[in-house]
Amino acid sequence: MSGGPARTDSGPGEPLAVAVLAGGRSSEHDVSLSSGAAVRDGLSSAGHEVVSVEIGRDGVWRRDGQTLRVTPGEGLLGVDVVFPVLHGPFGEDGTVQGLLETLDVAYVGAGVTASAVCLDKVLFKQLMSVVGVPQVQYVGVRAERLHRSRETVLEEIGRLGLPVFVKPAHLGSSLGIVKVNAAEEIEDALEQAFAHDALVIVEAMAPGLEVECGVLGTRPALASEPGQIVFHGDFYDFGAKYSSGAMELRIPAGISASAREQVRRLALSTFAAAGCEGLARVDFFVDGERVLVNELNTMPGFTPTSVYAKLLAASGVAYAPLLDRLCRLALARHEQRHAYSY
């Protein structure tokens, strides 16, 4: 399968040709490969023709081990739709989405702007503040500002109280997070985070349960049954997310009916405010009737046992039909955009 733009007339239920992108340059490369393999299997089981494209840690796109070269406006390998199962920088941040736009090919998930905004934890929280979404208190810190105005920055962070969480602003999968319990540890934690990113976010400790909600669709979208994250460590870090047995997802979450509806409503409004399309997972802290948005992930982990897939399955959308629906949403968006003259 090669060359030429894809067809755009595939009807409901008709098998599609889908390119699955996985890997990437970020530290989430291996997580992406695992998600990509699951997506390929799920699409194949649903009867679709799947083309695998791996993005190496060097950033090179390869198909069957051979370097892949593309031409703007000519699609990608003649497929109908691309499923970019990429996590973190250089994949989930609008860069690959922009390339797919120039290729003029339909692709699953958020567009360029929403991808860029949601991967920038500080920018995302600033946008949510403007639209009135309740969220965890935070301070965004740039390396140069810390070095220029150290006392002012430390004073701002001090107002958050202790403990706080220090995170690189553009990484996912809880990579690079440090929990700080003493004021004298703040600067070391910041420097550790700056090794990953020039922008760091410091978040206040939020009491309550960690709850997640999946969103599927565009306008209108479906909010899943919320699920509660139960973990055995000090906080929900990379190990808790990806080590066998370190985390349990409880569906339904152990929250009240009114808190459940708040979670679902805020998931949809946050998704819309960020300009997302197709899918997202929105993460919350729930303390009684108090619900705070933590962050939004535009391309969550995508194995059948990942949180997003489990949340949708508990809401009546099984894994293979979920993948099929996402591909068809991508095609519909692509066709709609072609109706504009620009």
pLDDT in tens, the chain (342 residues): 333 334 333 445 799 999 999 999 998 999 999 999 999 999 999 999 999 999 999 999 999 999 999 999 999 999 999 999 999 999 999 999 999 999 999 999 999 999 999 999 999 999 999 999 999 999 999 999 999 999 999 999 999 999 999 999 987 645 678 999 999 999 999 999 999 899 999 999 999 999 999 999 987 899 999 999 997 766 555 554 545 566 899 999 999 999 999 999 999 999 999 999 999 999 999 999 999 999 999 999 999 889 999 999 999 999 999 999 999 999 999 999 999 988
Is 301 catalytic? The answer is yes
- 249 Cβ contact list (under 8 Å, min separation 6): 212, 227, 228, 229, 230, 307, 310, 311
What is the per-residue pLDDT for 11?
44
Domain borders along the chain are 1-109, 117-134+207-298, 138-204
Cα-to-chain-centroid distance, residue 251: 21
* Topology at the third CATH level for domain 138-204: Dna Ligase; domain 1 (3.30.1490)
153 burial class (0-12, 13-18, 19+ CB within 10 angstroms)?
Answer: buried
* Topology at the third CATH level for domain 1-109: Rossmann fold (3.40.50)
Q: Which of 93, 197, 212, 295 is catalytic?
A: 295
Is 56 catalytic? The answer is no
Against a cut of 0.85, is the pTM above it? yes
Domain 117-134+207-298 has CATH 3.30.470.20: yes
Evaluate whether 265 touches 215 at the Cβ level (below 8 Å).
no
Whether the domain at 117-134+207-298 and the domain at 138-204 fall into the same CATH topology:
no
* φ, ψ at 21 (rounded to 5°): -95, 130
Q: Which of 224, 301, 306, 325 is catalytic?
A: 301
What is the per-residue pLDDT for 10?
41
Q: Which of 26, 27, 35, 297 is catalytic?
A: 297
